[in-house]
C-alpha cells in the first residue's frame, strides 16, 4: 500500500505520518532538487512510482508529493490511498507559533555551542499566516505545487480533521479509520454493491442507467425518475453478479411524477403515509420485476439505500431473495424486520465508508 499525505500548514501531517510509520510503513521521499543519495529518496518521480509499483506488497508513506499530475499517476495504482489532513486555522496558527519558539530555542542552543551569533526569526502575524494558508489551499501556491483544493477535488481521499489537543486522541482517531484495511483499496462485496445504490441516485450517473419504464420522456434528460420524493435506487446481485439497478417511479406508459402523474408524490403526504393512493413502483419492486423469479432464485441479495417498506417486504419474501442489505433507516423498519425474520430472510444494515471510493 502507498499512503500519500497532503494538508495545510501545521495541520499535523508529520504526526499522521509518524503514526502510519508505527504501523510498519516505510517513508519514501520525493525531492526534485535533491541528490537522492538515500535508499528511499528520489529526485525522479517515475523512479519513485516504479519502485513502489514493483514492491506493491510492501507499505510506503509519503508526504512530499504535492503535484496533481503525480498524485493522479499514483491514484492509477490499486494500492494507493490519499490522506488529507486539516485543522481550524486558529489551531494551526497556535501550533505554528509553538513550532517557531522551539525552532528558535534549538538554533540558539546550536549557535551558543558553536559560538556563532544568531538573531531569532520573527514569526509572521496571524493575518500573514492566513494569507499563506489561503494561497496553499486555493492557489496560486508555491512554485511547483498545485493548490490543495485542486488535488482534493480531483482525487478521492480520506479526510482527517486534526483539532486534537494531544497526540493520543489523534492516534485513537486514526486507529478508528482502519487505514490499513485491505478494503480501503479493494472494497468488500457489501461496500461494492451498496455504493451502486448511492452513486446511481446522482443525476450524472442516471444518464447511463436504463429507465424502469419503456423509455425516458423529453423531460427526463437529466433524471430517469420523475418521482418527486428522493430517488431510492436498488440493485439485485445473485452469486456476486449484478443484474438490475432500478429506481422508484410510475409504471411504464403513465405520466411521470414530475409531470403530476402521482397525486400522492405531488401532495403533502409524509414518509410512510398514504401509499394506498400512490401510483409509483418502489425501487425494490422494479428490481424484482425486472429480474424475474428465475433470475432471483437462491443466493440473491437485495441492496437498497433505504430499509424496504412493508409492501416491498412481502414482495421480496415472495420472490425468494435470501438476504436484504440496507443503508438508511425507514419509518417501517420494525414491521419489515418482523416479516423478514418470520420468512427466514436475513436483514442487516450496512453503511459504506464515508470517503468513497478508496
Which of these ranges, 239-243, 312-316, 328-332, has the smallest mean pLDDT? 239-243
Instruction: State the Cα–Cα distance between residues 79 and 51, nearest whole angstrom.
Output: 13
Residues 6+ apart with CB under 8 A from 53: 77
Task: Give residue 83's pLDDT band: very low, low, confident or very high (50, 70, 90).
Answer: very high
Q: What is the pLDDT of residue 36?
A: 76
Q: Which of 37, 41, 97, 284 is catalytic?
A: 284
> For 2-93+102-184, which CATH class?
alpha beta
CB of 272 closer than 8 Å to CB of 309: yes
In this structure, what is the dihedral angle of CA atoms 270, 275, 279, 284, given to the nearest 10 degrees? 90
Is the peptide bond between 279 and the residue preceding it cis, with omega within 30 degrees of 0? no
Q: What is the 3-state secondary structure (H, E, C) of 322-335?
A: CEEEEEECCCCHHH
More confident residue, 118 or 75: 75
Q: pLDDT confidence of 203, banded at 50, 70, 90?
A: very low
CA distances from 239 to 195, 233, 251, 314 (A): 18, 20, 28, 22
For residue 124, give Cα distances in angstroms to 97, 99, 184.
9, 12, 40
Q: Are 211 and 246 in contact (CB under 8 A)?
A: no
pLDDT at 211 over 50: no
Quote the pLDDT of residue 270. 72
Average pLDDT of the chain?
78
Reduce the DSSP state of residue 82 to 3 states and report it: strand
pLDDT in tens, 38-82: 889 999 999 999 999 989 889 999 999 988 999 999 998 888 999
CA distances from 296 to 6, 60, 196, 236, 322 (A): 45, 44, 18, 8, 9
pLDDT score at 216? 32
More reliable by pLDDT, 328 or 294 = 328
pLDDT digits (tens, 9 = 90+) for 129-169: 898 888 888 877 555 567 888 888 888 789 999 999 999 99
User: Does a cis peptide bond (omega within 30 degrees of 0) precede residue 357?
Assistant: yes
Q: Tell me which residue has cell 462485496.
A: 189
**Are 281 and 212 contacting, i.e. CB atoms less than 8 angstroms apart?**
yes
Closest CA to 287 of 305, 264, 263: 305
Asked if residues 49 and 204 have their Cβ atoms less than 8 Å apart, the reply is: no
Q: Give whichever of 52-66, 242-256, 288-302, 305-319 has the largest mean pLDDT.
A: 52-66
Mean local confidence (pLDDT), 313-328: 88
| Domain spans, the chain | 2-93+102-184, 189-349
Contact 246, 290 (CB under 8 A): yes
Q: Provide the CA 40 distance to its chain's centre, in angstroms.
A: 30
Is 189-349 a domain of CATH 3.40.140.10?
yes
What pLDDT score was predicted for residue 170? Answer: 96
**Active-site residue 284, yes or no?**
yes
Would you call 97 exposed, middle or buried from its count of C-beta atoms within 10 A (0-12, 13-18, 19+)? middle
pLDDT attached to residue 143: 53
Amino acid at each position: 500500500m502507498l499512503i500519500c499525505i497532503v494538508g495545510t500548514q501545521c495541520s499535523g501531517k508529520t504526526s499522521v505520518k509518524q503514526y502510519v510509520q508505527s504501523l510498519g510503513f516505510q517513508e519514501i521521499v520525493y525531492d526534485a532538487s535533491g541528490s537522492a543519495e538515500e535508499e528511499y529518496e528520489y529526485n525522479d518521480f517515475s523512479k519513485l512510482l516504479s519502485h513502489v509499483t514493483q514492491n506493491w506488497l510492501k507499505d510506503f508513506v509519503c508526504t512530499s508529493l504535492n503535484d496533481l499530475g503525480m498524485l493522479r499517476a499514483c491514484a492509477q495504482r490499486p494500492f494507493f490511498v490519499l490522506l488529507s489532513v486539516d485543522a481550524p486555522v486558529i489551531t494551526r496558527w497556535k501550533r505554528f507559533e509553538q513550532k517557531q519558539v522551539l525552532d528558535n530555542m534549538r538554533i540558539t542552543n546550536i549557535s551558543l555551542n558553536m559560538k556563532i551569533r544568531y538573531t531569532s526569526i520573527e514569526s509572521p502575524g496571524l493575518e500573514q499566516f492566513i494569507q499563506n494558508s489561503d494561497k496553499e489551499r486555493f492557489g496560486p501556491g508555491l512554485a511547483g505545487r498545485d493548490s490543495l483544493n485542486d488535488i482534493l477535488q480531483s482525487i478521492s481521499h480520506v479526510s482527517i480533521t486534526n483539532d486534537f489537543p494531544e497526540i493520543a486522541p489523534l492516534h485513537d482517531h486514526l486507529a478508528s479509520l482502519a487505514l490499513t484495511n485491505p478494503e480501503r483499496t479493494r472494497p468488500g462485496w457489501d461496500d461494492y454493491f451498496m455504493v451502486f445504490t448511492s452513486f446511481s441516485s446522482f443525476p450524472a450517473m442516471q444518464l447511463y442507467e436504463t429507465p424502469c419504464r419503456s423509455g425516458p420522456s423529453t423531460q427526463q434528460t437529466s433524471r430517469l425518475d420523475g418521482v418527486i420524493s428522493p430517488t431510492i435506487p436498488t440493485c439485485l446481485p445473485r452469486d456476486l453478479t449484478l443484474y438490475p439497478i432500478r429506481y422508484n417511479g410510475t409504471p411504464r406508459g403513465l405520466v411521470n411524477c414530475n409531470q403530476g402523474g402521482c397525486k400522492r408524490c405531488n401532495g403533502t403526504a409524509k414518509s410512510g403515509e398514504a401509499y394506498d393512493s400512490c401510483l409509483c413502483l418502489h425501487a425494490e419492486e422494479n428490481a424484482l420485476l425486472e429480474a424475474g423469479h428465475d433470475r432471483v432464485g437462491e443466493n440473491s441479495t437485495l441492496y437498497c439505500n433505504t430499509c424496504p417498506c412493508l409492501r416491498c417486504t412481502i414482495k421480496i419474501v415472495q420472490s425468494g431473495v435470501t438476504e436484504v442489505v440496507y443503508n438508511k433507516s425507514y419509518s417501517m423498519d420494525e414491521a419489515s424486520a418482523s416479516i423478514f425474520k418470520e420468512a427466514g430472510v436475513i436483514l442487516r444494515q450496512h453503511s459504506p465508508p464515508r470517503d468513497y471510493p478508496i
